[in-house]
Structure 1
């Protein structure tokens, strides 16, 4: 494949061959912005959605600059979760293999839950590339086993999740030990206020690339709204499970306590479900992910950690047992499915409290269909805003009726009651006439 659209960048033949073998033809929106900036040695803040190609956006130009003759760390990639670090390191190993540099370019993965003593023993020679979680990388630096002062570039992936999970302080401590002129590449879905303070400390006039996709979710995705009404969440999801046969469905709950409760309720109803949230031990999370890869589960109950920190492949359905409060989180959740052109479906249980979010998402261009499950089948029901429209119509009739009420010239006792009665009679007449039409 001729990747001439990548050849516009000053990339060496080795990396061009890697791009060929990856099967890339045209750079994604984030790659178009990030690759040239990284090649120029500039610092970057990149905002883009999940699955936008950002990992290759920074890895390809960073590998382009590797000086293989130097046995020292040349760039560091940090990620907030062990799973995300493993995924990034898998891409690093793939790039090295496709470059035919397996015996030349070296990389190491440093994450918690592994034997630190054995890790230190293997660090006689510094790797060219370091990938890991901030805690373990900092630990090795403080032990004197890892030296990152030689690194020219430092990547912080999923920075807002790093902040949420409380790891940004460890990143701060690592950067204190790095060269002051290090190139900083920060990737984050959102830039909350607390993160801005951190970025200002290390970045002066960085390139800030925000990739706003016109479509908030893939065109191949369908968004369904299911009213919860008086029913339990587990009851509705169980009914839904009888109508779908997912390859893999992620059921999102707000918080680990709710996820634990829902997983237990669904298990009691006979569904075999996996469970993923930040409260599990590294060993438990590793076991669940292995079971998922082995296709043991059709359903996984998860918190937002699974929408960002862990890449689970083959998701055909996303079920929001509870809708999130923010639009960004909805986009990330549903972004786990309908990837790479595949079809997907997002099923959203909702209450009146969720209407504000639905309205905001519709204003941004998302389209929802209202359904319920009755007698084991999907049935279209009245849209979430039907009642609102009806109330508005009733309100209009009420206003018009008051306008037609004759105001008395002289105020007499009981006039208010008489006017109210008159208004009600006019309103009934208006509504009857409307019905006849």
Structure 2
């Protein structure tokens, strides 16, 4: 068997064995940058999108240090903004423990809301080495003195921008206050909003700033399509789109849970297998929905921004923006669900006149949109969305020259613009005629 390329790092031999069992061969870009930094004990800010391999980027070196030191008590805490994401990270932790054949030596606990707190306190009587959970529940248990985090070596803040959006940064702040001054802080985020800077500046002194890849807005393997909504209904257009594509898995985004509920019902009535994921679901409903999604029960998922950002959904081939977001950052988050690891992906966007400013801003940042419509269940390429606007705003050099010869009247009378335009046309013809004679 060919040796994997993780041997270049000073990882414990047992962890190298785990990597072989995981089937990893070459570290991803974020793993190449994060693993050595974590092993050196540095605090870091890692900018990386979901699906880049960042979870193993910090778990593998932390487990390596755990095996080398063989310490007692809690050694590292992983905080995540949602129960679903925390559960997914915990599953990865459990998998590493099992592959390392260390189920008796390494103890990990999942601490999230929606579960029995008394039972969690009971379980913590045997202190774990690893804690994974949501900031609120971890902080609750620390305040109850059921969990001591003062001696931890590392604290991980995953999806920090979403932590900020959901209002959990204060809880993370309270957790850090209760750790020792030498704690290693590992922050991971798809974006680093300006609003996050005060928190980062407070706790991270000269951190290593690690960015995965070029952080392009969109991979080359992704296509961005625009379809004008016009007078048509959103559910009808999404249904027509569904008849022209064969997605492995498509996420349909709306701006809010009410519209998500409405659209999911309408699409189900039209015969589509549709899952639903938004913040208004109960913990039990969210857990069941996530399980169904992971088991590929649905071909389509109607979701809101925050709900979708809180989970890692694999195998997304299409993103359909039934409603475009107001900010570029959210568009990038949405379409970043597809075209991962070199795979192809398509983002289909229904738009209205209200969305033009967003499209313009995204184009200025380098995104390219192709204009389409759907006719009799077929894609029909149309003129660019801004072609008419360009034609109106573009003035030829001859027309500009002609305007120089037109004198604006001192006393403005009704219809003067029309008269000036007529004069300009006459001068333009004269200029063009003279240019022909010169040739």
Q: Give the TM-score taking structure 2 as reference length.
A: 0.89
CA-CA distance at 1:383 after TM superposition: 1.2
CA-CA distance at 1:410 after TM superposition: 11
Q: Which residue of the partner structure matches residue 369 of structure 1?
A: 370
Q: Which residue of the partner structure matches residue 347 of structure 2?
A: 346
Secondary structure of 1:66's match?
helix
Q: Map Cα deviations across residues 2-34 of structure 1 (whole Å, 9 max, x no partner).
A: 445322222111111122222222222222221
The answer for unaligned runs of 5 or more in structure 2 is 433-439
Q: Map Cα deviations across residues 91-115 of structure 1 (whole Å, 9 max, x no partner).
A: 1112112222122111111111112
**Superposition RMSD on alpha carbons, in Å?**
2.8
CA-CA distance at 1:366 after TM superposition: 3.1
Give the distance between the partners of 2:408 and 2:198, measured in 1 at CA: 65
Give the distance between the partners of 2:134 and 2:410, measured in 1 at CA: 81
Q: Which residue of the partner structure matches residue 63 of structure 2?
A: 63
Give the distance between the partners of 1:6 and 1:158, measured in 2 at CA: 25
Q: Give the TM-score taking structure 1 as reference length.
A: 0.90
1:86 aligns with 2:87: yes
Q: Which residue of the partner structure matches residue 52 of structure 2?
A: 52
Give the distance between the partners of 2:422 and 2:25, measured in 1 at CA: 74
Give the distance between the partners of 1:141 and 1:113, measured in 2 at CA: 17
Q: Which residue of the partner structure matches residue 31 of structure 2?
A: 31
User: Is the Cα–Cα contact under 8 Å of residues 227 and 351 in structure 1 kept in the other structure?
Assistant: yes
Given the superposition, is the C-alpha separation of residues 227 and 396 from structure 1 closer, same or farther in structure 2, using an over 3 Å criterion? farther
**Mapping for residues 274-293 of structure 1, pairs under 5 Å:** 274-293=275-294
Q: Which residue of the partner structure matches residue 298 of structure 1?
A: 299
Given the superposition, is the C-alpha separation of residues 419 and 339 from structure 1 closer, same or farther in structure 2, using an over 3 Å criterion? closer
Mean Cα deviation higher: 252-261 or 225-234? 252-261
Secondary structure of 1:261's match?
helix
CA-CA distance at 1:269 after TM superposition: 4.0
Given the superposition, is the C-alpha separation of residues 241 and 414 from structure 1 closer, same or farther in structure 2, using an over 3 Å criterion? closer
Q: Which residue of the partner structure matches residue 201 of structure 1?
A: 202
Give the distance between the partners of 1:218 and 1:258, measured in 2 at CA: 29
Q: Map Cα deviations across residues 359-381 of structure 1 (whole Å, 9 max, x no partner).
A: 34334443322111111111111
User: Is the Cα–Cα contact under 8 Å of residues 222 and 345 in structure 1 kept in the other structure?
Assistant: yes
Secondary structure of 1:21's match?
helix
Given the superposition, is the C-alpha separation of residues 186 and 425 from structure 1 closer, same or farther in structure 2, using an over 3 Å criterion? same
**Mapping for residues 336-415 of structure 1, pairs under 5 Å:** 336-393=337-394, 399-403=400-404, 405=406, 407=407
User: Is the Cα–Cα contact under 8 Å of residues 279 and 307 in structure 2 kept in the other structure?
Assistant: no
Give the distance between the partners of 1:201 and 1:338, measured in 2 at CA: 36
Q: Which residue of the partner structure matches residue 246 of structure 1?
A: 247
Give the distance between the partners of 2:413 and 2:249, measured in 1 at CA: 71
CA-CA distance at 1:412 after TM superposition: 11
**Mapping for residues 116-265 of structure 1, pairs under 5 Å:** 116-213=117-214, 215-265=216-266
